[in-house]
Amino acid sequence: MTTATTVKTEYEAIIGLETHCQLSTNTKIFSHSSTAFGSDPNTNIDPICMGLPGVLPVLNEKVLEYAVKAGLALNCQIAKYSKFDRKQYFYPDLPKNYQISQYDLPIAEHGWLEIELVDAEGNPIRKRIGITRLHMEEDAGKLVHGGSDRLSGSSYSLVDYNRAGIPLVEIVSEPDLRSGLEAAEYAEELRRIVRYLGVSDGNMEQGSLRCDVNISVRPVGQKEFGTKVEIKNMNSFSAIQRAIDYEIERQIAAIEAGERIIQETRLWLEGAQSTSSMRVKEGSSDYRYFPEPDLAPIEVSNEQLEQWRSELPELPAQKRHHYESELGLSAYDARVLTEDRSIAEYFETAIASGANPKAAANWITQDIAAHLNKQKLTITQIALTPTNLADIITRIETGKISNAQAKQKLPDLLSGISPEKAFAGQELITDPSVLEPIVDEVIAANSKELEKYRNGNTNLKGFFVGQVLKKTGKRADPKLTNELVEKKLNA
C-alpha cells in the first residue's frame, strides 16, 4: 500500500492509462505459430502473421476466453456481439501494413478496478478507477536498430517478426487518475489481476505488460480537460510514476509561461529522467478503421459466459478485504500475502490445516520470504508444505517447541525434513519438577553472578536464564524458565 501525494493545489492532473497485456496462449491470435519468448529472430513465424497473399486469419478460441475472463474480472459488461476491425497505419514491423484490432464494438466495456493507497496519517484510501473498454488485437513485430549514423544514431534497422501476431488485450482506463502514484498503483493492481487469472504473466521486462499514459493538467475548478499528451517507453511501475510526475510539472511550467501544450506522443528517457517529443499524436480518423472482412463477428452465448465466469478465482482485492475483516490481519500483511496467487493459496492451505492466521502470516511474510528472496525462489519451489507449516505453528502454540527452536530448524524444514523428524527429542521441558533442579544447579554454580544480582544488577537474570537454556539444549520452556529463575533469585 502506497502513500497518496498531490500536485500544486491550483492545478489538477487528469490521467488515463492504455495498457497492452500479452495473453499467455501457446499460439498466436490468428495462426499456429508459437508465442515463446526469447526464440531466435524470425523463427516463430508463418504465412498468416507474415501477411502473405491469399492467407486467412482464424481467431484463437483461447484468446477470446482470456479476454472475456479479464473483462469479467474488471467488472466489465461483456458484449454479446463484437467484431474485429482493420487499423490502417504504416507498420514497418507488421508486414500486411494494418493491424487487426477492435474499434467500435469491443469485447468488453464499462468496468472498474479498485486501488488502495494510504493518506499522510496512515489511513487507508480505496478508490475505484473506471475501465472504458477492453479489446483484443494483434501485436506488431520488433525493430532492432544498428550501425552508426551521426544524426539519427543508427544506419540500418533489422526486423524480428516473432512478436507479430502475438495476442493482446488493450485495457483503456477512464481519466480517473490524479497522480503518478495512483497510476502506478492502478497498473500494479491490473497486473495482479491478470496474473491471478492466469491469462498473462504481466512481465514488464519482456514486454508482456506495456503502459501508455495520457495526461493533461487544468486549473482546479475548470471543467474542460487540458490538451492531452501521451507518454510511451515505460518499463516499470516506478518509471510510470516518475514520468507522470515529471510531465505534470513540465505542463504546469509551460502553462504558467504562456506556452501552448500540443497534443503529441512523448518518450520517457530513463537516463535523463525526462520526457522528449516523439511525434504529433494521431486521432482515430487517421487510422481509417473499417470492419475486418476476413473474420466473422463474435457472439458469446449466455451459457459460455456463465461457464467462464464460474472459473474465475477470488481476486486480490477480494482476498485483501477477506484477510483484514475476517482473519484480522493488518493491511500490510494482507497486501504482501495477496501479491502473488501462489503465496495466497499457500497461506490459505496453512489456515485450512489449522494454523493461526496471524502466526502463518508472520512466518510467510518474514522468515519464509527472506529465504525466497535470498535463494531467488518462488513459494512453489520450497519443500516445506503449508500443512507442515501449520504443524510447526501448532507445536509452538501448544508449548511443544519454542519459536527459537522452529527458526533454528527452518533451513532443514525448508529442505523437506518433516517436523516430526526435525523436532524429534527436542520437545520443550514444561514440567516445573524437572526444571527446578536444573535452575538450582545453575544458580549454585554461579555464586558470583548471584551476589551481583542481589546487590542490584538485575540484568543478570538473563544470564541465568541463558545458562538454563544452554544446559537443556534450549529445550527448557522460556516462559517457565524465566518464572523459575526469577523466583529462585529473589528467594
Residue 388 has pLDDT above 70, yes or no: yes
Backbone torsion region of residue 416, taken as left when φ is above 0, otherwise alpha when ψ lies between -120 and 50, otherwise beta: left
Tell me the pTM: 0.86
pLDDT-derived band at 214 (thresholds 50, 70, 90) equals: very high
| Confidence at residue 2, expressed as pLDDT on a 0 to 100 scale | 56
Q: What cell was used for 334?
A: 494482507
What per-residue confidence (pLDDT) applies to 255? Answer: 94
Please determine, for residue 3, whether its predicted confidence score (pLDDT) is greater than 70: no
- Report phi then psi at 427, rounded to 5: -65, 145
Q: What whole-number distance in Å separates Cα of residue 450 and Cα of residue 436? A: 16
pLDDT at residue 425 is higher than 90: no
Between 8 and 216, residue with greater pLDDT = 216
pLDDT tens by residue, 106-115: 999 999 999 9
CATH architecture of 432-489: Orthogonal Bundle (1.10)
What whole-number percentage of the chain has pLDDT above 90?
71
Q: How confident is the model at residue 304 (pLDDT cuts 50, 70, 90)?
A: very high
- Specify the range with the lowest mean pLDDT, choosing from 6-15, 354-363, 375-384: 6-15
The domains of the chain are located at 2-304, 314-422, 432-489
Q: Is 182 helix (H, G, I), strand (E, B) or coil?
A: helix
Alpha-carbon gap, residue 267 to 265, rounded angstroms: 7
CA distances 275 to 57, 234, 459, 466, Å, are 38, 11, 60, 61
Q: Among 150-154, 188-192, 246-250, 438-442, which stretch is predicted with the lowest mean pLDDT?
A: 150-154
Render pLDDT for 163-190 as a digit per residue (tens, 0 to 9).
999 999 999 999 999 999 999 999 999 9
pLDDT tens per residue, range 358-373: 999 999 999 999 999 9
| 292 vs 89: which has the higher pLDDT | 292
User: At 197, which amino acid appears?
Assistant: L
Report d(CA 189, CA 193) in Å as an integer: 6
Whether the pLDDT of residue 311 is over 60: the answer is: yes
Cα 275 from Cα 269, distance rounded (Å): 6
Contact between residue 1 and residue 123 where contact means Cβ atoms under 8 Å apart: no
Strand partners, 218: 12
Alpha-carbon distance of 266 to 281, in angstroms, equals 9
Cα 279 to Cα 165: distance, rounded to the nearest angstrom: 25
Distance CA 22, CA 140 (A): 12
- The C-alpha atoms of residue 337 and residue 323 are separated, in whole angstroms, by 9
- Please give the pLDDT value at position 479: 85
Q: Which of 16-20, 365-369, 486-490 has the lowest mean pLDDT?
A: 486-490
